[in-house]
């Protein structure tokens, strides 16, 4: 029997990856505006009902981290209130909901990778809105899996890998923050994991251990500067000119929103319960860089 998954969004990195990675026996229905507009919560339930899904994935979000500082109400409506509406719709339909969340629910002050039961404490409007979404989902339906991820990149949309490759075209050196650490995570790997979680939830509707909060990031850790060095090392191997990375501090690159200094997430629970371990971030990043450069070469020719 085909597993029908409705996913909110259309152009986001995770949605694009899911549409590309649809496994055999799965159908993905991506619902976009105007049928479903997270900024207009009343559109959510009717759109999800019309999708006739077995599992709902709420992957769309307000992700402009710095802009959220000047638009906190909109961020809260999209990431908080709308997540709750999606969860209530899932409950009414009797189907599981998978909510994509973020490391930004933490303050980043811990000296080890965060576990699911560590105290939350967002330090930005974006983080506060995503935490509100988690809480709204949990309040609306017990049949949920909240997947916190971090430092997401892919061949799609705007992300750190594409930004570094673009800057490397015209610069000999790029300054990158070195005092924030985390786990770079490929949206391709996230998509594959989401499909596994969806299958598990659908196959074992009474297994409460499969529900709740899970951390889901690439294996290993690095700083943003280390991530950039890996990107430029692979691009050089593919024939691009060398680019130096100048290590700078967070204070040297001020942004409207505070970023967690520690974005590392402990994924042991996801591995133990759902049997999922995402690949090492370095190999996944190299794969992404090679793909982007190959696609760029194809367009150039």
Long-range contacts of 102-105 (CB under 8 A, 24+ apart): 102/126, 102/127, 102/130, 102/148, 102/149, 102/150, 103/148, 103/149, 103/150, 103/151, 103/182, 103/217, 103/260, 103/263, 103/265, 104/65, 104/130, 104/259, 104/260, 105/130, 105/131, 105/134, 105/148
- The pLDDT assigned to 33 comes to 80
- Give the list of residues 6+ apart from residue 297 with CB closer than 8 angstroms, or none: none
Q: Which two tokens stand for residue 295?
A: 């696609």
- The pLDDT assigned to 298 comes to 56
Residue 67 CB-density burial (10 A; 0-12 exposed, 13-18 middle, 19+ buried): middle
Locate all alpha helices (DSSP H) within the chain, ordered by sequence.
13-20, 44-51, 72-76, 82-93, 125-140, 160-170, 187-203, 224-237, 268-274, 281-300
Place of tokens 């809480």: 135
Q: Are strands 222-223 and 181-182 parallel, antiparallel or unpaired?
A: antiparallel
How remote is the C-alpha of 3 from its chain's centroid? Answer: 22
Mean pLDDT per 10-residue run, the chain (301 residues)? 93 95 97 87 93 96 95 97 97 98 98 98 98 98 98 96 97 98 98 98 97 98 98 97 98 94 98 98 98 80 41
- The pLDDT assigned to 299 comes to 59
Q: Are strands 212-215 and 144-149 parallel, antiparallel or unpaired?
A: parallel
Computed from CA positions of residues 203, 205, 210, 215, in that sequence, does the dihedral angle turn out positive or negative? positive
User: What span, in angstroms and rounded, lies between the C-alpha atoms of 69 and 75?
Assistant: 9
- For the CA atoms of 108, 114, 116, 118, the dihedral, rounded to the nearest 10 degrees, stands at -60
- Give the list of residues 6+ apart from residue 140 with CB closer than 8 angstroms, or none: 84, 87, 88, 90, 91
- Give the list of residues 6+ apart from residue 158 with CB closer than 8 angstroms, or none: none
- Tell me 38's DSSP state: T
104, 126, 153, 253: which is the annotated catalytic residue? 126
- The pLDDT assigned to 300 comes to 46
- Contact predicate 61/12, CB 8 Å: yes
- The pLDDT assigned to 144 comes to 98
- Contact predicate 49/89, CB 8 Å: yes
- The pLDDT assigned to 301 comes to 41
114 in active site: no
Q: What is the pTM of this model?
A: 0.96
List Cα–Cα distances, 68 to 53, 127, 130, 143, in angstroms. Answer: 31, 9, 11, 29
- Contact predicate 83/126, CB 8 Å: no
How many residues are recorded in the chain? 301
- The pLDDT assigned to 146 comes to 98
User: What span, in angstroms and rounded, lies between the C-alpha atoms of 188 and 196?
Assistant: 13
């Amino acid at each position: 029997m085909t597993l029908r998954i409705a996913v909110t969004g259309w152009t986001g990195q995770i949605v694009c990856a899911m549409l590309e990675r649809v496994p055999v026996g799965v159908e993905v229905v991506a619902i976009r505006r105007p049928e479903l507009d997270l900024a207009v919560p009343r559109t959510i339930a009717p759109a999800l009902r019309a999708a006739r899904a077995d599992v709902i994935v709420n992957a769309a979000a307000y992700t402009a981290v710095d802009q959220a500082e000047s638009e906190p109400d909109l961020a809260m409506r999209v990431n908080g209130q709308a997540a709750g509406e999606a969860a209530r719709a899932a409950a009414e339909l009797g189907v599981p909901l998978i909510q994509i969340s973020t490391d930004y629910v933490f303050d980043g002050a811990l000296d080890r990778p965060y576990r699911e039961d560590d105290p939350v404490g967002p330090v930005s409007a974006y983080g506060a809105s995503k935490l509100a979404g988690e809480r709204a989902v949990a309040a609306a339906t017990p049949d949920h899996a909240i997947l916190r991820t971090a430092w997401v990149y892919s061949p799609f949309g705007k992300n750190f890998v594409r930004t570094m490759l673009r800057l490397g075209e015209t610069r000999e050196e790029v300054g990158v923050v070195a005092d924030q650490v985390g786990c770079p995570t490929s949206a391709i790997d996230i998509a594959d994991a989401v499909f596994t979680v969806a299958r598990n939830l659908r196959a074992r509707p009474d297994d409460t251990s499969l529900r709740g909060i899970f951390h889901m990031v690439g294996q290993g850790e690095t700083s943003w500067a280390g991530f950039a060095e890996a990107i430029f090392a692979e691009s050089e191997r593919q024939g691009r000119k060398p680019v130096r990375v100048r290590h700078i501090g967070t204070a040297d690159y001020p942004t409207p929103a505070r970023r967690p200094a520690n974005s590392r997430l402990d994924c042991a629970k996801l591995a133990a319960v759902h049997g999922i371990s995402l690949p090492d971030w370095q190999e996944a990043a190299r794969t992404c860089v090679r793909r982007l450069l190959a696609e760029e070469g194809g367009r150039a020719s």
